[in-house]
């Protein structure tokens, strides 16, 4: 899965700043994305 590859390359905790840089989106969008990942996907990679 594409998202798992992205998350595997992150060192430390996933933050909105890190995700906004990877996804090229605002920090507000990054926060919503991370929230959706935690709610809908398997969070053991986060």
In angstroms, the CA 11 to CA 8 distance is 8
Tokens (6 digits) for 2: 């594409």
45: DSSP letter: G
pLDDT of residue 2: 65
18-33: burial string, b at 16+ Cβ within 10 Å, e else: ebbeeeeeeeeebeeb
For the chain, domain boundaries? 2-45
Contacts of 3 (CB under 8 A, 6+ apart): 37, 41
What's the average pLDDT block by block, 10 residues per block, for the chain (46 residues)? 68 87 93 87 58
Three-point CA angle 5, 46, 17, nearest 5°: 85
């Amino acid at each position: 899965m594409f998202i798992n590859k992205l998350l595997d390359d992150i060192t430390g905790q996933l933050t909105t700043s890190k995700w906004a840089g990877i996804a090229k989106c605002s920090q507000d969008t990054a926060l919503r994305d991370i929230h959706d990942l935690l709610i809908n996907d398997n969070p053991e990679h986060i």
